[in-house]
Structure 1
Amino acid sequence: MATTYFTEDHEWLRVEGDTVTVGITDYAQEQLGDLVFVELPEVGKAFSKGDAAVVVESVKAASDVYAPVDGEVTSVNEALTSDPALVNSSATGEGWLWTMKLSNPSQLEGLLDEAGYQALIG
């Protein structure tokens, strides 16, 4: 069963075993506005928690999306290359950004649950 966590930087991560799927929250995509470009990482690239991993560009601004945990990129959502607006229409579904292999499970302990994230943006 998957467990979903959130960061204070408005990323969500869905954890299943040692696989982490990462995206931005509905709140984040609303703040950005219509996305026009997503720069995805390369498969095989390793990130440390807090590293800039993805760039999302909207009609308003460009923003970094940070790696929420240490790990290596195992796949990217290629559909976003031709349709970045998937993030706007389905931020926590079809608009996921990348998956990674979790290398330090203890980092999950410092993340927010749904209630904690809602309190943050409340």
Structure 2
Amino acid sequence: MPDIPEDRSYTKDHEWAQQAQAGRWRIGLTDFAQRQLGDVVYVELPATGVKLDANEPLGSVESVKAVSEIYMPLGGTVTAVNDTLADSPEQVNEDPYGDGWLIECTPSGAVNEDGLLTAAEYAEYVRRESEE
């Protein structure tokens, strides 16, 4: 079973969102996603200042298996990008919930977590998806 921390919200596209400092949210890929991708070799992320809607592509991850889109779990403006991934994309595999984070954003309004899953809901979703 993949690691699923309780302190963040998840999407069915296997991204996570965690409230960080001063109203910012940090976004990354889940442990399940990085395992499915295999070794990550390149990460494409947006520039700071870019405004994105929830479910809009924010970038992509290239692995030895495929190139996959990454989607915004919530709408907002990109306030920080994990620049270390340019030289060390393997951080997404090695520490998906820590040093492998992708971006930080400031939500464009009140964060509507209705479309996001709790850790327990996400664990159940992953379990069902793995059975298919």
TM-score, normalised via structure 1 length: 0.94
Out of 10, 13, 21, the residue aligned to residue 9 of structure 1 is 13
* Inter-partner Cα distance in structure 2 for 1:101 and 1:10: 20
Where do 1:70-109 residues align within 5 Å? 70-109=75-114
TM-score, normalised via structure 2 length: 0.87
Name structure 2 gaps, 5 residues minimum.
1-6, 128-132
Letter in 1 for 2:56: D
1:56 aligns with 2:61: yes
- Provide the residue aligned with 1:21 in structure 2: 26
The runs of at least 4 aligned residues of structure 1 exceeding 6 Å deviation read: none
Name structure 1 gaps, 5 residues minimum.
none
Question: RMSD of the TM alignment (CA)?
Answer: 1.0
Q: Say which SS state the counterpart of residue 93 (structure 2) adopts.
A: helix
1:39 aligns with 2:44: yes
More strand by share: 1
* Inter-partner Cα distance in structure 2 for 1:106 and 1:46: 15
Aligned pairs, number: 120
- 1:102 deviates by 1.0
Q: Quick one: percent identity of the two aligned structures?
A: 40
* Inter-partner Cα distance in structure 2 for 1:38 and 1:76: 11
